[in-house]
Amino acid sequence: MTDHSQAMTAKYRQDYQAPLYWIDSLDLDFQLQDPLCRVTAISRVRRNGEHNEVLALDGEHLQLVSVSIDGVACEQYELTDNQLRLSNLPAECVLTIVTDLDAAGNTALEGLYKSGDAYCTQCEAEGFRRITYYLDRPDILARYSTRITADKARYPYLLSNGNKVDSGDLDGGRHFVQWQDPFPKPSYLFALVAGDFDVERSHYTTQSGREVALEIFVDKGNLDRAGFAMESLVNAMRWDEQRFGLEYDLDIYMIVAVDFFNMGAMENKGLNVFNSKFVLANPATATDGDYHGIERVIAHEYFHNWTGNRVTCRDWFQLSLKEGLTVFRDQEFSSDLGSRGVNRINNVRTVRGPQFAEDAGPMAHPIRPDVVIEMNNFYTLTVYEKGAEVIRMLHTLLGEDAFQAGMRLYFERHDGSAATCDDFVQAMEDASGRDLGRFRRWYSQSGTPELTVTDDYDGDSGVYRLHVRQHTPPTQDQPQKLPLHIPFDIELYDEQGAVIPLQYQGQAIGNVLDVLEAEQTFVFDRVPVRPVPSLLRDFSAPVKLHYDYSEQALAFLMRHARNEFARWDAAQMLINKAVFDGVTRVQQGQEVELSATLLAAFVAILDEASLDPALKAEILTLPGEATLAELFEVVDIDAIHRVRDAIHTRLAEAFGPRLAATYDSLRLTGYQVVHADMAKRALKAVVLGYLAALDAERADALVREQYGAADNMTDTLAALQVANSHLLPCRAALLADFEGKWAQDGLVLDNWLRLVGAKPAADVLDEVKQAMSHPTFSIRNPNRLRALVGSFAMNNQVQFHARDGSGYRFLTDLLIELNSINPQVASRLITPLIQFKRLDEARKGLIRAELARLQGLPSLARDLYEKVSKALAQ
């Protein structure tokens, strides 16, 4: 029997207790050297209350050198694999701990490790315990000073949190830099970077006139790819002042781009460590999507300075307090700077696809979880994206002015402290005067609520009624559900597409209805004709909507809805109906058929000259197969694939000659990162895909031409993606050319790896395995793994779920290898294996066998153990 006693140690939110000791300040001294780095940590420790309990400090993968208390060597301690326990401490003392650690051998990329030739850190959630023995929990806020010493030639830049207060040269070619952070912070926000970089420099003058130095550190030779990140940072600083009244508080703000990083980026105070994917960009190497991603993530980490750093989490169960709120803020930033409609559509795609799947899977949890085994497993779409939707609902319910009043009250009460989700909602309630009692259930209830809406209309009295029923299906963690407070945004249209005002008995009614009960009826009068309702506009709540729209009503909304999201959503519902019907037909051995109404509605979108090409591209892009799977109780992967392909082809045939004319009209000369041009490139890529479905031979020539003439990565990749997804004759030659051109640039080559993993053909697994022997690929690099294996396992539905189980075996073999190298990345990649509940019985059996193989590992990491055991318990 495998011993998982450590893995089984679950922590419960209800068990939170204040720490037995406080640490008021921490002075760190790092001697960076090979093979072991030495860390001296001097803590000022203070007992919390009257007791004589043990001080239990967290520590992992450390060699303890010495411990002293108030300058006197201490031999009376207990050392375990993950704790240093000290007894009989005075009420206050200075604790000095010296440890050695192996940064170069740290493949988990937590704590202090090497990324290429540079030292860097990642301490969220519990990585600081790999640096020194400490109270590694977010409610311990201390003032840090950090002295770093290293070889000057190899590591000319020595960076840490706060402001630089001292530096100098030492004997033996070494030098030191001293940093001081004036703001108390938890250990997860500590950062250190040492290396040799190129530096992009700028400055920003805050609204109160303070000058802030801005520095972005990139690998040598990449300086020409740092400019857009700097521009995004300045825009984020300005926006946070204008929209939220929040100003930066240190003399310097630094960003470092590293290649080996488990996450997207990290908001360490004043020194953000970034995955290079979210910093480096120029037209030759980055797509429009990459530029959007950089702008969003740069802003996200900057916004954390207040929503995460100045006010932090009391415990890790409160993670959405900082992440959900900051995702909402970065979404608003992107929407204010770009297209609000298109940004909303892309955010909702993530929620309706992978987040809804997470809600329905074995790892279902509320945005504020109640129990965790491995904290890294709760950096989820539920905590981040659904968490942002919960904040957005608050904003919808309260309005901008009351929401901002709530934000100001939240900072006033909690600046410099570790807070909870309840503290945030209380500030919103107190500032607005709104009762948010039932709304709080969003924080404690898991799963995706479903709204079933019916209506009736009395033409004689002009009364229209909406009957709304809410129901949240049971989840693995919570069988019983309660009604929620759901903001339900609607609009009514007459047959000409004019808006019918919402009113009852002479009183105007706002567009946002408060759904509070399990069943509710909303009554409107003076409705002159039976209306067409636009429901759940802007996705005003993260719910599944059930309303029996006719195809004609959806086509009407695609054309007439004032809200951009509502037009896209109507198109999605029209396609969903066709997919649902098509799968039934395919299962009965029939052909897929599309109605004239659907075809005409989509042709009208392509023809609408005044429509923003970016919105047009979104409407004409069919939902992905994983998102379509959410429509079914039992998922028929092969049928969904066939039906989606058939719909794509039928639409292409309906568009006909318009496609070539549209494609030609979208050609641009010269590349600019501006919305109008990005919109045209997005639509051109969608149209090229339809052309490939209509006429493969003609598309092959167009793809070759676009690839050859492209002066930017967006057009290059759009051509490659069409060649890949339609298996055009040019595919092999173009992919080989791209690989040859970018073989030395891992970040760009990730695009090639993604294409290899997404190949819609039975031999894809052979190509994936070949790509793993590419010189640029490394199993130790999370970006390479996510690009190749993530693309295959998460986005290549038919081939990953091959009936012979080869995809499952391949992924499990890889997870076994990663278990001892980087369990955090393994835990992210396992997702498609644990979400098997709605697959057919044969595939379920194959997956269960692979999960059982994982469960039988003698040293299964906590990250994987938690997910495997929950999946097998389904």
Tell me: the pLDDT tens digits for 92-118? 999 999 999 999 999 999 999 999 999
Residue 389: closest CA among 330, 325, 346, 437:
325
pLDDT tens digits, residue range 38-81?
999 999 999 999 999 999 999 999 999 999 999 999 988 999 99
- Residue 687 and residue 622 in contact, taking contact as beta carbons nearer than 8 Å: no
Peptide bond into 531 cis (omega under 30): no
So what's the pLDDT on residue 3? 39
**How large is the average pLDDT for residues 161-186?**
98
Which runs of consecutive H residues, i.e. helices, occur in 588-712?
A: 596-607, 613-620, 625-629, 637-655, 658-665, 675-694, 696-709
So what's the pLDDT on residue 7? 46
What is the rounded end-to-end Cα distance, in angstroms, of the chain? 21
- Residue 867 and residue 830 in contact, taking contact as beta carbons nearer than 8 Å: yes
Task: Please tell me the distance from the alpha carbon of residue 109 to that of residue 785, in angstroms, as a whole number.
Answer: 14
pLDDT tens digits, residue range 450-502?
999 999 999 999 999 999 999 999 999 999 999 999 999 999 999 999 999 99
Structure tokens at 789: 């294996």
- Residue 179 and residue 162 in contact, taking contact as beta carbons nearer than 8 Å: yes
The whole-model pTM stands at 0.98
**How large is the average pLDDT for residues 809-832?**
98
User: Across the chain, what does the average pLDDT equal?
Assistant: 97
So what's the pLDDT on residue 2? 39
Q: Taking the mean position of all CA atoms in its chain, how far away is CA 539?
A: 18
| DSSP of 76-122 | -EEE-SSEEEE-S--SEEEEEEEEEE-STT-TT--EEEEETTEEEEE
**541 by DSSP, 3-state: which?**
coil
Catalytic residues: 301
pLDDT tens digits, residue range 423-446?
999 999 999 999 999 999 999 999
So what's the pLDDT on residue 6? 45
Say which residue the tokens 């904290």 belong to. 375
- Residue 213 and residue 251 in contact, taking contact as beta carbons nearer than 8 Å: yes
Q: How confident is the model at residue 9 (pLDDT cuts 50, 70, 90)?
A: confident
Task: Please tell me the distance from the alpha carbon of residue 310 to that of residue 189, in angstroms, as a whole number.
Answer: 11
Q: Taking the mean position of all CA atoms in its chain, how far away is CA 392?
A: 16
Query: What is the four-CA torsion angle of 142, 148, 154, 155, rounded to 10 degrees?
Result: 40
Structure tokens at 261: 């990083």
pLDDT tens digits, residue range 616-659?
999 999 999 999 999 999 999 999 999 999 999 999 999 999 99
pLDDT tens digits, residue range 587-616?
999 999 999 999 999 999 999 999 999 999
Q: Taking the mean position of all CA atoms in its chain, how far away is CA 158?
A: 30
**How large is the average pLDDT for residues 404-419?**
98
pLDDT tens digits, residue range 247-266?
999 999 999 999 999 999 99
- Residue 116 and residue 260 in contact, taking contact as beta carbons nearer than 8 Å: yes
Burial zone of 173 (CB within 10 Å; 0-12 exposed, 13-18 middle, 19+ buried): exposed
Domain 11-276 has CATH 2.60.40.1730: yes
Q: Which helix (H) or strand (E) holds 468?
A: strand 463-471
Residue 621: closest CA among 520, 523, 722:
722
- Residue 621 and residue 566 in contact, taking contact as beta carbons nearer than 8 Å: no
**How large is the average pLDDT for residues 572-577?**
98
- Residue 624 and residue 575 in contact, taking contact as beta carbons nearer than 8 Å: no
| DSSP of 22-87 | EEEEEEEEEE--SS-EEEEEEEEEEE-SS----EEEE--S-EEEEEEETTEE---EEE-SSEEEE-
